[in-house]
Structure 1
Amino acid sequence: MFNNNSFKLHKHRLKMRMSLWIGFILFGVLITIIFFLMLFTYIQVHFVQQSNNAMQDAAWDIVSEYGNDDFEETIAILARNNGYLIQIISEETGLPVLSYNRNGKISQPQVSIEIKDLFTRMDDSHGYCFYTIEDPSYQSNRSAQAIVLSVENGYRQVLVVSQSMLEMESLNRILIHRVGIVFGLTIALAFLIGLILASYFTRPFRHIIQTAATMEKGDYSAHFSEDSGPYEAVSLAQTLNKVSAEFNATEQMRRDFVANISHDMKTPLTVIKAYAEMLDAFSADIPQKRAEHLARIISETDNMTELINELLELSRLQSHSFSLHLSVFSLNNMVRMVFDRIKIMSFAEHATLHLEADRDYSVRADLTLLHRAVYNLVSNALKYSADSKDVVVRIDSTVTGQTRLSVIDHGIGISQEDLTQIWNRFYRSPNHGNEIRGNGIGLNIVKEIFEAHHCEYGAVSTLGEGSTFWFTLEKND
């Protein structure tokens, strides 16, 4: 039994296959119709035109032979070889004075049209004309070429060369009959090919739909087959596998993030609770101990506040629900402000912060956001500097004239594998363990700030030697 989703999936597959199948049949029908129209046009235009031109040339050949000894022999040969009815009609008597049938033999005088109409046509066409007439003897039409051959005693003698169009009409009937047969065969062939190709094209898409349905049920390890099928299906499967891999990686980072956040929030809460209990039980009446315990409670509260602020800041930056408040300011002074803020933090104890700049650099940027980015970079440099808490912030110019700020430490360094992922949200290197507190948000915030400013940025590092994080801004001086 199909459930509702399975029924919809089955219905979608049938609809896809039916659409392709009908498409192939219509394509076959269209090709047949186009072929028929081209063939019909060729017969009606090219073949008929060639036949009429040949008849016209024959008429002028007869005119050129008029008066020669072999005049009648020429008429007989042309009539026999081409199936023409050739007559010379006198205006005086209204009857043919000479008539050769399609076998090249002299025949009984006969006229296929009224003589009056013939000579009326000649009056209107200055001595020669081409026309089509009915031929009752063949129940068909005849095409005719008429030319004034001579004028005797004021009466014209007109050469009329004509041929029956019965052969042409018969050819059309045969063509229609054959096209009907070809049309039927084309439909049958298109039906079979359509079924085969529809199955070929839809099979990989059916597998994709089935795999997607598996993922919908929560099995994100499902793999889309890339083995066979049309290029579009293979390309789609490859893209979906990449999306699936990225989704799985993001899901893993999310789980790690939840675990880290839970740990980072649980730790200060535990410390706050412990010191609050000690404050209540032991140090309420001891000023020195009370001050130490209160300071630790305040410090852990600050850690939680910073964590929550980072989460809110990241959410705001990634939602793009903000606008840059650009202003011109001294980058050197902003770095000094960052140093002043960091020096009061516990992790900056015994730290040495240096600013290296050959002059004062002015830039146009969002001061608050850029301050946050540089603060995150410098605080990270201190946290990962191990025993050597010596951090240098260098400001200089690039060869293209941009202002570059680099944060340099001599700490534990970052592996090349981790360098490609450190900007990702929630990512923390497994090599750092739990001895260094962090939640994988800081560098992602930095990345969002840099990209909002359209900065170039990056990092270089060597394990055991230290790291350099840098970004560039356009000069404003």
Structure 2
Amino acid sequence: MKINIDKNRLSLKLWEYFMVFALSIVGLLWLLQIVFMNSFYETMKIREITKIGNNLVEMYKTEDFQEELISLSFKQGIVINILDEYGNLIYPLDIFDIIKQPRLNEKLFNDFLSRLYLSNNNYVAYVVEDERLDESTIIYGAILENDDGSNYFLYINSMLQPVDSTTNILKNQLIMVTFIALILSLGLSLVISKKLSKPIEKITDLSKELALGNYDIEFDKGEYTEISNLANTLNIATKELSKSEELRRDFLANVTHDLKTPLTVIKSYGELIRDISGKDDVKREKNINIIIEETDKLSKLVDDLLELTKLQAGLSKLDLEVFDLSDLAENVADRFKYFVEEQGYRISIEKSGDTKVYADKMKIQQVIYNLINNAINYTLEDKLITIKIEEKNENVVLSVIDRGQGIDKDEINYIWERYYRSGKSHIREKSGSGIGLSMVKSIILAHNGEYGVESEIGKGSRFYFKLKRYANVKD
């Protein structure tokens, strides 16, 4: 049976990265301790001999020079000599050296002088093969300047001890360390990868439930900040989706009601015309007018839905012109004469300052109409609605104020959303699908204006919008 393994799983990727890291560390240890051991040891030994030689050069001609030379030679196990310009040993000398007058091998001494004089420094350090001992030797040389006569040379010779035996020991140890490290890394990487991936897998499973429409789920916070932030974000998104779904259901219920009512009226009066009106022209005309009015309501509802869709999609173009917002507000208020004359509503208009704006007159007219209609729906018994148009700094502000019950704080953030309709009681039976304020929001945003609401329970609400005053509009 073939097992399908998802190579892109987070747990597998974390395990791979951890193993690569562990192998890299072990590989680095092998390189430093085994492969580069000899070169590393040689470099460190040359530095050590060079430091000793440079210190002796600085101490030359001091009282402690000879004592320090002998001391270092014994402590470090190295040969330290002072030679003249012919390679003869000057110091240290014992009684036998005085008789024998030892001299450095001519070939070695000539190579030594050649390297020293070609050096950019006053000293030289290098490695040569000692043919007698068949071992590598470190040679250090420096010029010891004398005030009178020829100069002397500091010559240091140190055997470069082989580290093969040490390398073999380290190699055996590293084999054990590598085996143990890989086992531990394998186990630790599996634990860590599972611990890190588990909360993400849990969030993924819950997200699938969310995609199926279950909005009652809650994403748990993890031990890590990033997981907690992700869970918080998804919880907020879940709440918003839940509210959106609720608004959608309300919208469908509202639209169904608003479509069904005119259709029922149209059908009823159509039947009256067919069955009762007969040749009575007055009744027939009255019934036909009612049918036309209800048809107009349906047409306006559809037009509003289409216009809102265009506005929110950015497809509705603005036909900009200069006009007085106060005059437009008065014209729109006149369309509500029926409520003033027949139902006792009072609409007061207050204006001050320069209220000319540069905007789409038809769309701003729709904004004002929706705000006044909203106020009529929710005002209380005094039926007073105040419309204020005033100049404020560089803006013109239009406010529609009612003395209704006000809006609850829990609802005030959602009244501008599409499909939303407040559940508060009202005086006049409200109709509409809950898109009036959403249209206000979309139209004002399309004009780069500002909108808002101030409300207090039991005292009423003030809906307003701001547009740039025409004098301050830049081309």
Please indicate, yes or no, whether the TM-score normalized by the shorter chain is above 0.5: yes
Unaligned ranges ≥5, structure 1: 102-106
Q: Which of these residues, 34, 51, 54, is aligned with residue 53 of structure 1?
A: 51
Distance 1:49 1:406 in 2: 87
For residue 166 of structure 1, report the CA deviation from its aligned partner: 2.6
| 8 Å Cα contact 1:99-1:109 kept in structure 2 | no
CA displacement at 1:344 relative to structure 2: 6.0
- Within the alignment, does 1:202 sit opposite 2:200 as a pair? no
- The aligned amino acid for 1:192 is G
Conserved in 1, the CA contact under 8 Å of 2:115 and 2:124? no
Aligned letter for 1:294?
I
2:396 matched to 1:403? Answer: yes
Distance 1:461 1:186 in 2: 68
Q: Residue 365 of structure 1 aligns to a residue in which SS? A: strand
**Corresponding residue for 2:97?**
none
Cα deviation for residue 343 of structure 1 reads 3.3
Query: For residues 340 and 176 of structure 1, do their structure 2 counterparts lie closer, same or farther at Cα, with a shift above 3 Å needed?
Result: farther
- The structural deviation recorded for 1:396 is 1.4
Query: Which of 110, 113, 119 matches 1:119?
Result: 113
- Supply the AA of the counterpart residue of 1:325: D
Instruction: Report whether the alignment pairs 1:424 with 2:424.
Output: no
Q: Deviations over 1:438-458 (max 9, x none)?
A: 311111111111222222221
The residue that corresponds to 1:438 in the other structure is 432
Q: How does 1:306-385 map to 2 (within 5 A)?
A: 306-343=300-337, 350-385=344-379
Name which of 276, 279, 288 aligns with 2:273. Answer: 279
Worse-matched range after superposition: 124-133 or 434-443:
124-133
Q: CA deviation at 1:375?
A: 0.8
Give the alignment partner of residue 64 of structure 1, picking from 61, 64, 78. Answer: 61
Tell me the distance in 1 between the aligned counterparts of 2:304 and 2:42: 82
Give, as a single letter, the amino acid of the residue that structure 2 aligns with 1:403: V
Corresponding residue pairs, total = 458
SS in 2 for 1:378: helix
Tell whether 2:145 aligns with 1:143: no
Contact kept? 2:322, 2:357, Cα under 8 Å: yes
Query: SS at the partner of 1:322?
Result: coil
Label 1:435 to 1:109 Cα distance change in 2 as closer, same or farther (>3 A): farther
> 1:303-342: CA deviations, max 9, x gaps?
1111111111111111111333322211111112212334
Unaligned runs of 5+ in 2: 95-99
C-alpha distance in 1, partners of 2:390/2:397? 5
Contact kept, 8 Å, 1:150 with 1:158, in 2: the verdict is: no
Task: Answer yes or no: is the 8 Å Cα contact 1:347–1:382 preserved in 2.
Answer: no
Equivalent residues of 2:89, 2:101 under 8 A apart: no
Q: Give the match for residue 162 of structure 1.
A: 157
Structure 2 matches for 1:63-82, cutoff 5 A? 63-64=60-61, 75-82=69-76
Which piece of structure 1 moves more, 38-47 or 111-120? 38-47
The AA in structure 1 aligned to 2:249 is R
Q: Deviations over 1:166-192 (max 9, x none)?
A: 378988887787777666655444433
Q: RMSD of aligned C-alpha atoms?
A: 4.0
Structure 2 CA distance for partners of 1:144 and 1:275, relative to 1, 3 Å = same
Alignment-derived partner of residue 104 in structure 1: none
Structure 1 residues 284 and 35 mapped into 2: Cα distance closer, same or farther (>3 Å)?
A: farther
- The 8 Å contact of residues 422 and 428 in structure 1, kept in 2 or not, is answered as yes
SS at match of 1:133: strand
